[in-house]
Amino acid sequence: MRTLNYTLWDYQQQFVKDMAIASKEHQHVIGQSPGGTGKTKTFVYIGTQVCNKGGVTLILTERKNVYGQNLDEAKAIGINDKTPKYIHIKEGEFYVAMTQTLEGRPLIYEQFNKLKCPVYIIIDECHSGRYSNLLNKLIHGVRLGFTATPDFRQAKHLPLFYNHCVTTHPVQWFIDNNILCDYQHIQRKSGKATDKLEKRNGEFTAASQRKFFGTEEHYQELFNDLNSEPFNKCMMFCASIEHAEEVYERMVNEGYRCSINHSKRKDSDYQVAMFKTLDKTNIIITVGNMTTGFDYPEVDSIVLYRATTSLIIYLQMLFRADRKKEGMFFRCWDYGSNFDRHKSYFYPHPWDKMWNAKLKKKKDDSVTPMILCPKCESMIFIAARVCKWCGYEIPAKEVIPEIGISQDVTNRLAPLEGKRLSELEPKELALFANLKNKKPLAARVARALEEQREGYLKDYGKAMGYKQNWAYIQREMGGDLQFQDFRI
């Protein structure tokens, strides 16, 4: 009998129940839950129950770091590049396999098709299309795919392998329940500049992005922004390996303590260790290989030094900083107008429809866009510079420079504006402390308000992700509790 050393939270238990009901009705099911909400523990729990009832569970993954995490969590039998061409698959056992490895071992994967017991195939990050060849060969059993981002537009294989999608709560629910962090999204307004980047196969090309983000103006704005707000650990995402190397060299020369990690670096493990374990650097520059499987709660700053048309890639980058941490907050600096394309990290996307929703084609009626002349109100072509009816010269639109002002597109401070500090609820005070970097002041305010509203310190400490004894320590501090009760 397999046992687990953890207990699922209530929302995870409900997720398991919903997946069980859906799999009985639809057999092959997607389970969607935001990054940082414990999908791994959820599907390991499901797999463990299957094995304890005499069935077989197989977890498929495509990345080595994720493979290791799943293997340790499930205490399973691993199938990787060092595994022999044949091993005997036994009933009641739990397996974790690298997809590329198992695909080349027919003597192993064919055994899963011949088993008489229940077989559950769990696909981690099922939005990736790299599983398709193997899933076409694993024709027996129940498929359960797990992902935070089942978007048909970038994952057209999903309706081919799954019949239904089960969702948990939206990101905002997890923020409100102190499970995920709130955030501030600051976007550098550059007009339509990024939309002029060259596209290939629906995505902005690495070459055009490297040229666009490689200007001195962009670098100076990046340096100014990094120096303007304090952060503990920062992850910076670039458009390509060449771009990442170029940015790394420039930032090191500027004196920043940086690591770099991508698939062609032979010292990647050491680079990550300097950032995470050794604490030698506080910025890590990467491309795409850290968008999944890298969970480090200390990350409180995300830099999107790239543009992407993919909602999946965009959210996976933001999810790197949403884990519980002191402050329960992170900040995103966005230089690629990604917010304009994909909205906020907490936007409630309808994933239960998006996983198989085919996009409607835009109707092309081949009519040239028209506008009204500001003077005589006659219809004229949108590109006209002079009205042919009255001779009025159409004023040229103001040209927005390539680098513009930074804009807090999430505007998280707006609901607090006009309120005095003494009027703030604990979660509101926590948001003020993070957005304005006023944690010492906010702690003094919380101590003072505890005198009027019992439990305020405890609720504020919870909202900030502090340890349970923080409120007790604050109450014992004493001292001056006076503060300037200004309006925000």
Name the residue among 456, 198, 463, 459 with its Cα closest to residue 481.
456
Total number of domains in the chain: 3
Shared domain check, 100 and 81: yes
Name the residue among 154, 242, 170, 248 with its Cα closest to residue 202.
154
E-only strand ranges, 149-250 = 164-167, 182-188, 199-200, 203-204, 233-237
Range of the domain at 451: 416-477
pLDDT band at 339 (very low <50, low <70, confident <90, very high): very high
pLDDT of residue 397: 56
Q: Which residues of 132-166 are buried (b: 16+ CB within 10 A; e: fewer)?
A: eebbeebeebbbbbbbbbbbbebbebbeebbebbb
Per-residue pLDDT averaged across 331-352, rounded? 95
The pair of three-digit structure tokens given for residue 102, joined into one six-digit string: 């198992």
Beta-bridge partner residues of 372? 379
> Considering 168, 203, 227, which residue would you say is the last residue of a domain?
168
| Residue 60 scores a pLDDT above 60 | yes
Shared domain check, 211 and 263: yes
Within its chain, how far is the Cα of 290 from the centroid?
11
Does 58 reside within a domain? yes
The pair of three-digit structure tokens given for residue 99, joined into one six-digit string: 């997809």
Q: Which tops the pLDDT comparison, 81 or 65?
A: 81
Q: What is the pLDDT of residues 115-164, one digit of tens each?
A: 999 999 999 999 999 999 999 999 999 999 999 999 999 999 999 999 99
Per-residue pLDDT averaged across 75-101, rounded? 96
How far, in Å, CA of 82 to CA of 485, rounded? 65
* pTM listed for this prediction: 0.86
pLDDT of residue 400: 42
Beta-bridge partner residues of 334? 187, 304
pLDDT of residue 404: 58
Q: Are 309 and 259 in contact (CB under 8 A)?
A: no
How far, in Å, CA of 139 to CA of 133, rounded? 11
How far, in Å, CA of 448 to CA of 150, rounded? 46
Q: Are 352 and 165 in contact (CB under 8 A)?
A: yes
Q: What is the pLDDT of residues 219-273, one digit of tens each?
A: 999 999 999 999 999 999 999 999 999 999 999 999 999 999 999 999 999 999 9
pLDDT of residue 375: 75
| Residue 370 scores a pLDDT above 70 | no
Q: What is the pLDDT of residues 1-59, one digit of tens each?
A: 899 999 999 999 999 999 999 999 999 999 999 999 999 999 999 999 999 999 999 99
Per-residue pLDDT averaged across 104-117, rounded? 96
How far, in Å, CA of 302 to CA of 319, rounded? 9
| Residue 192 scores a pLDDT above 60 | no
Shared domain check, 135 and 24: yes
Give percent of the chain above pLDDT 90: 80
Per-residue pLDDT averaged across 316-340, rounded? 96
Per-residue pLDDT averaged across 152-178, rounded? 96
Shared domain check, 145 and 126: yes
Shared domain check, 181 and 161: no
Look at 170-174, 202-206, 338-342, 395-399 and tell me which has the smallest mean pLDDT: 395-399
| Residue 362 scores a pLDDT above 70 | no
pLDDT band at 412 (very low <50, low <70, confident <90, very high): confident
Q: 3-class DSSP state for residue 300?
A: strand
Does 382 reside within a domain? no
Mean pLDDT of the chain: 91
Does 391 reside within a domain? no
Q: What is the pLDDT of residues 468-480, one digit of tens each?
A: 899 989 988 877 7
Does 380 reside within a domain? no
> Considering 352, 374, 396, which residue would you say is the last residue of a domain?
352
* CATH code, domain with 236: 3.40.50.300
DSSP class of residue 242 equals H
pLDDT of residue 359: 45
| Residue 406 scores a pLDDT above 90 | no
Shared domain check, 126 and 31: yes
Look at 62-66, 103-107, 146-150, 305-309 and tell me which has the smallest mean pLDDT: 62-66
Shared domain check, 197 and 115: no
Beta-bridge partner residues of 387? none
Shared domain check, 234 and 160: no
Q: Which residues contact 140 (CB under 8 A, 6 or more apart)?
A: 112, 113, 114, 115, 119
| Residue 398 scores a pLDDT above 70 | no
Shared domain check, 342 and 292: yes
Q: 3-class DSSP state for residue 442?
A: helix
Does 403 reside within a domain? no
- Other C-beta atoms closer than 10 Å to the C-beta of 344 total 17
Give percent of the chain above pLDDT 70: 93
Shared domain check, 242 and 127: no
Does 381 reside within a domain? no
pLDDT of residue 190: 60
Does 401 reside within a domain? no
Shared domain check, 237 and 203: yes
> Considering 308, 325, 352, which residue would you say is the last residue of a domain?
352
Radius of gyration of the chain (CA): 26
Cα four-point dihedral sign 228, 229, 235, 237? negative
Does 370 reside within a domain? no
Shared domain check, 464 and 344: no
- In terms of C-beta density within 10 A (0-12 exposed, 13-18 middle, 19 or more buried), how is residue 248 classed? buried
